[in-house]
Each structure stands twice: as structure tokens, then as C-alpha cells.
Structure 1
Amino acid sequence: MKKETISSLQLFYILIGFEFGTTIILGVGSGAKQDVWIAILTAAISSLILMTIYIKLSALYPNYTLLQMLPVIVGKYLAYPIIVLYIGYFIYIAARVCRDFGELMISTILVETPIAVVIGSLMVLMIYCLRGGIETFGRMGEAVFPLFMFSLVIIWILLLTVHSFNITNLTPVLGNGIKPVLKEVFPNTLTFPFGESVIILMFIPFLNNKKHAGRVGFAVILIGGTLLSINSILILSVLGPEIYKNDFFPLLSATRLVSIADFLERFDAIIILMMVAGVFFKVGMFTFGAAVGISHLFNVKNTKSILLGIGMILTPLSLLIGDNFIRFLEIGLEFITVYIHPVLQMIIPFSLLCIGFMRKKFQSRKNHS
């Protein structure tokens, strides 16, 4: 596989888009009611511990992706099932994001279009970009990120003009105590979206300056967490905590209330464009991670055919993981978030860091003796 590199700034842009992904559209942390913004900030600060684990682990093996480290740290026989598990995880999460995107599109602007066509069209564009290499993906980040942020700021300004905007919707602060907030932080908000940044371990080896990996990782968590918190404050101020909790796409619902002089209305298109950009980065990162993992597993140098294969299975897989959207969400909240995310985002990386550190220390002592 041709060795390509991206800059730390490009990785930052991609990861910020990845963090927003579907998160900015969906009602994250809704169980905390008016304290959603506190839950998001708490989860972001807590996830700095996870990012520290990822960066330290990468520093031990700077030229290895997460799946390349595994045979070195735990041995090839134990590593293979874990590698397969991570590849399946990356593909599954990419499929879930595609399903979120498809459901939003067919419920808003493409109501007569089959969801398979919507998701399939996205995958054609995604695979076309990824087959150009990680450098092409990085340049997409540079091109799209400014437009994404500009659109987000415009939406926030428009939300301030809504007649129902009332900052008192955020009160009483911690009116239900700290317990609902902590319950939303772990495992829900900590694992989605912040814990999913474990994918950074598949991209650090492609950085042209790996010393900046820590700065990028921590900046993404802090800036992303702050922006998501601000976004939740504005949505809560418009909709209130009860509607926020029960709405599938609260940002879209809040934006639909915007009406300037009874003339400028229906800013749905901006939300859809933001969703497309966020999904593009999120699906792209997980798809790329899975493709690189498969290339490591089977010692394939060219990932283009692998990317094509993954792209072909993502559309049907996204439709098979839930009979309907409600069941799809239940699987994510009741199974993936509780049992899968913590293991692959926290337990395994932390265990690898401990074992890897001990191995390095033992080898250092052996070399000096």
C-alpha cells in the first residue's frame, strides 16, 4: 500500500466533522433534560482520559495502526479475533451512521425516494473519494470544514430569532440532581460521540508529523465538546427539554421554527447539507479504518478493491440492522452502547497500553543488562 500522509490540520478538520457527524442532528444526552449541555461537557472532559490512552498507546508504536499493534502486544493468535472484532465494529458503526442519514433524508426532503437509493448514492461518492487515498480525504476536510462551520454559525444566529426562544428552558440547573446527568454521561454521551474517536489510532501513522497527534486529539475533544454543548443550549432554549427528549431530529425541528418577517423560512436545506458533511467524514473514517484493518489482516497492499467491497455491503447492512427506525435506535442504545462501545473504546485500548508499556519496559531492561 502506497504510503500517504496528511497534515495535523487536515486530521483535525476530519475529526471535528467526525465528532459532529450525526451527533449535532440527533438529541444526544436527552435523558438529562435541561442539563443536556452539562452532560455533554462532562462527557467531553471525561473523554480526555480516553484520548490520553489513545495518544500514549500510539506513542509506544508510532508507525503502527491500532490493528497492527495488536499482534506485537498480545501475540498473533490472540490478536486475530480482536482484529476481526474491530473491523466488524468499524463497518457496523459506519452502517449505523448511513442509516441515520437515510432516515433523516427520507423523512424530510426525499420522502418519495427509497432509503436504499439515498444511502447507496452516499456510498458511491464516499468510495470514489476514499479510493483517491487519504490525502484526497484530507483535502476534502480542508474544503468542507469552513463551509460546515459557517453553516453552523448561521443556524445558531437564526435560532436566536425564533419567537419561542427562552433561555429559562435551561433552568433549574441540576434541578433533578446530578444522577440523571451522570447516567447520560456514561455510557451514552461518553461513548457517542467522544469514545468513537478511538478511530484516531487508525490515522495517526499517516500523519506527516506524529508529534502533533496529541494536540489534534485533545483539541478535537475540547472544541467539539464545547460546540456540541452550545448547540444543545440553543436547541433547548427553542424547543424545551421535553420536546428535545422526544424528537428524533431536534436541531431540524428547531430550525423549522425560524421565520424572519414571515418571508425567510424553511432553512432545512442548511441542516441537510451539514448532515451530509458530517456523515461523509464519519462514514469515511470508519470505512477507511476497516479497509486498512482488512489490508493488515490479509497482507493486501492496495486497499482500493477492499474499499469497493465495503462500500457494496454497507448499504444492505444499514437496512438489515433494524426492521424500523425505532428498533434500530433501541439496538444502539440498549446493546451497542452498553456492551460493545465500552469494551472496544475503553477496556481493550487501556489493556493494550498497560501490556505494551510493560513489554517496552521489559525490553529496555533486557537491552541494558
Structure 2
Amino acid sequence: MGQSKITVWQFFVLTLTFLIGTSFFFTPGGLINVAKQDAWIVPLWAGTSTILVSLIWLELSKQYQGLSIIQICIKVAGKKLGSLLALMYISYFIQLAVFVTRNMGDFMKQAMMPMSPITVFHLMFLVISGYAVYKGIDTIARSSELLFIIMGVTFIFIVCLGLTQWDSGRFQGMFRMDLWKTMKETRSIFGFPFLESLLFLMLFPFVKSKLKSSFILAIVIATIMLSFSTFFTIGVLGVTRASHDTYPLFVIAQEIHIGSFFEHMESTIALILLVAIFIKLSIAYYCSVLGICQLFRIKNRSWITLALILLISGLALGYDNVVENIEFSKKYDFEYTLIYSVFIPLLLLIVTWIRRSRKKSMRETTS
């Protein structure tokens, strides 16, 4: 399972799509509701902070080249404590796959097919993603290359059409936010989507070269694009409307009318979202399966992949509705993700430095 390799470009596409995919649709409305006309600034400081945090991940990966975060936990913390930390990471990966699955189900049921059972959407997507996971990370990476182009071209097309409804007057009152209050109320954006990229600690060993530059570049571009998406949403819908819509980009696509030819573009936006969800879900799903296989030394991942379809689908029903999901993310997502993205990797890195400094001092004294 660990013999596959992905190119720098494939890794860049995976990282960028993972970060911007679903956040384009779910993040702008919440940010605009809190920060109003200044909401487009929030992703900029969130992305900058993530770059600093990513240096911890990259340094940890450099110290243990060729090892995933699961293997690093066991090597640094020992078999018992390390296995416990590895189980915590696996549970986080599964939980993230559950969040992505439920977000997809809520969107399809609320915006596209309200009469269909939400479980149908969960199982359909999980079966497709499960097959991709079974085929391996190189298959997911190649798929993302093609889907990324389709998603990018379609999004640019929608933006160009949406600019016909642009009104710069909707930005009146900009730069009046309370910085500390805004950071506190929008802290969930640090967790979703930025700190969630800690999953790539599982994929770092598959990258052949230029890992650091491609990973940081993907975060930078994702930050700029998410900021632009929020800026674009404010200019087209305005603060009041955008802050009350769960999927503001979907609303923009619904209202695009150019003559009698370009209208009802919401199905196109739905296509972009489904593509983005497929890639993000496949990455989280794959990391869950890979983590279980590495922890328990399982060579055949087929049964693990199949079992997780049922587990993720069942756990995705844990929320009553999309509002409860959003409220949970606002209140707890940042603190929850911070444990796995900052505290544990930093602790592992500090232990590594202490051990290596002790070994170095012992060698000097013996010589």
C-alpha cells in the first residue's frame, strides 16, 4: 500500500483541491455574516497562520523521511502511547470523512433532490470513493488532475457570468471590523479548511521531490482563491443576502441570466461541488484506510475499505440537519483540529529534538 508514488504536480493539485473544494461553497456565507464587507480579509490571516503551522509538519516529516504521521507517532512515543496517538489520528481522519459525506448529503437534499433519503447520497458517493481508495493514491491523484481542470474551467466560467451582477457599492463600510472579535468568531476557518490539511502528513512519503515548495504554494493559492471567492460573493449578492444563504455560490449560479441561453446554471455549480467533494472525501477516506493498515500491519486493504463505507455512512447520520452541523463547526472545530494539527506534531518534534541533542552530547562526551 505504501509503494505508490505521486508527482509534485499531482500532490499540488490534491492539496489545492482539498483546501478550496468544499470551502468555496460552505465558508463565504458564515464569514460574511460575522465580518460583513471585510469577510474577504479573514482567509488571508487564516492561510498565513496555516503556512506557519505547516512548517512544523514539514520539519517533522523531514526528521522521519518516508514515514506517515501514524508511523512517526509509534516511533517517537513508543508502541503503547504511540498506538494510542495513532488511533486518535485515525479517528480524526474518519471523522473528517464523515463531515465531508454529511456536507454532500445536506447539499444534495436541500438544494437538488429534497425528496430523496440522505443515506442514498452517502452510499453513492462512498462506494465511488471507496473504489478509488481501493485502487490506491496514484489513482486518486490521476483522477484529481483531470477533475481539477474541469472544475477550474467551470468555476472561471461561472465567475465571468456572475460579474454581470457585480456592484462595487456593496462594499461600502469596509475596514470597520473589530479585529479581535472577528478573529474569535471566525476561528472555525482555521480548522475548516486550512488545518484539516494535516491529513497530508499521511501523503508526504508518497511525494518524490519538492514537497515543501509545492505544499506551501498550494496553501498560498488556496488562501488567495478563498479570499477572492468571498470578495466575489459580497460584490454579487451583497452582505445581507450572502450572510443568510447556506450556499451563496449556488444562489449566484441560480440567478445568472444572459438572454435566454445562459440561465439556471446551478447544475453546473453542483457539478463543481460534487467533484470537489469526491476528491476531498477520497483523500480523507484513503488516509483512514492507510492509517488502519499501518497501525495493525494489514496488507490487504479491501475489507477495511468496505467496512469503512458502512461506518462513515452511519456516523454521517449523527446530525439532525445542516444547521446543527454548522453550529458544531463554529463552536468546536478549531479547538478540536488544533490538538491534531499543532499540539501533537509539536510535541513529537520537541521530543525528537531532545533525543537527538542528548545523543549528540553523549557522542561528544565519549569521544
TM-score under structure 1 normalisation? 0.94
Match of 1:286 in 2: 284
The corresponding residue for 1:178 is 179
For residue 26 of structure 1, give the secondary structure of its aligned residue in structure 2.
helix
Partner of 2:322: 325
CA contact (8 A) 2:4 2:136 kept: yes
Instruction: Find the counterpart in structure 1 of residue 140 from structure 2.
Output: 137
* 299-308 or 264-273: bigger deviation: 299-308
Partner of 1:247: 245
Q: Give the 3-state SS of the residue equivalent to 1:113 in structure 2.
A: coil
- In the alignment of these two chains, the number of paired residues is 362
Amino acid at match of 2:355: R
Aligned counterparts, 1:299-338, within 5 A: 299-320=297-318, 322-335=319-332, 337-338=333-334
**Aligned with 2:355 (options 359, 362, 365):** 359
Residues 165-189 of structure 1 show CA distances to partners (whole Å, capped at 9, x for unaligned) of: 212323322213323432245x311
Task: Give the C-alpha shift of residue 217 in structure 1.
Answer: 1.2
8 A Cα contact 2:190 2:334, kept in partner: no
Q: Gaps (5+ residues) in structure 2?
A: none
**Quick one: which amino acid aligns to residue 270 of structure 1?**
T
Q: SS at the partner of 1:161?
A: helix
2:80 & 2:265 partners in 1: Cα distance? 54
Give the Cα separation in 1 of the matches to 2:337 and 2:172. Answer: 32
Q: 1:352 to 1:255 in 2, by over 3 A?
A: same
Q: How far off is 1:120 after superposition? A: 0.7
- For 2:123, give the aligned amino acid: G
Quote how far apart the aligned CAs of 1:354 are: 1.6
1:303 alignment partner AA: R
In structure 2, the residue matched to 1:5 is 5
- The SS at the match of 2:263 is coil
> 1:204 aligns to what?
204
Paired position in structure 1 for 2:25: 25
CA distance in 2 between partners of 1:346 and 1:334 (Å):
18
Alignment-derived partner of residue 51 in structure 1: 54
Q: 1:233 aligns with which of 231, 247, 253?
A: 231
**Residues in 2 aligned to 1:256 and 1:356: alpha-carbon distance in whole angstroms:** 53
Distance in 1 of aligned mates of 2:214 and 2:150: 20
Deviation at 1:89, TM superposition (A): 0.9
- AA matched with 1:79: G
* 1:90, distance to aligned residue in structure 2 (A): 0.8
* Paired residues of 1:27 and 1:245 also in contact (CA < 8 A): no
3-state secondary structure, aligned to 2:107: helix
Partner AA of 1:193 in structure 2 = P
Cα distance in structure 1, aligned partners of 2:230 and 2:297: 44
Amino acid in structure 1 at the alignment position of 2:121: V
Identical pairs, percent = 26
Structure 1 Cα separation of the partners of residues 54 and 334 of structure 2: 20
- Matches of 1:288 and 1:237, distance apart in 2: 38
Report the 3-state secondary structure (helix = DSSP H, G, I; strand = E; otherwise coil) of the residue aligned with 2:42. helix
Residue 85 (structure 2) aligned to one of 69, 82, 103: 82
Distance across 1 between alignment mates of 2:305 and 2:357: 38
d(CA) in 2 for partners of 1:213, 1:235: 33
Q: Residues of 1 paired with 2:334 and 2:137: CA distance?
A: 32
What RMSD, in angstroms, separates the aligned Cα atoms of the two structures?
Answer: 1.6
- Taking the aligned partners of 2:286 and 2:360, their CA distance within structure 1 comes to 34
1:273 paired with 2:271, answer yes
CA apart distance, 1:54: 0.9
- Once the 2 structures are TM-superposed, how far is the Cα of residue 262 of structure 1 from its aligned partner? 4.4
TM-score by length of 2: 0.94
The 1-side partners of 2:146 and 2:362 are apart by 49
Q: CA offset at residue 332 of structure 1?
A: 2.3
Structure 1 residues 239 and 216: alpha-carbon distance in aligned structure 2, compared to 1, 3 A threshold = same
Q: CA deviation at 1:134?
A: 1.1
Give the 3 Å change call, closer, same or farther, for CA 316–129 of structure 1 in structure 2.
same
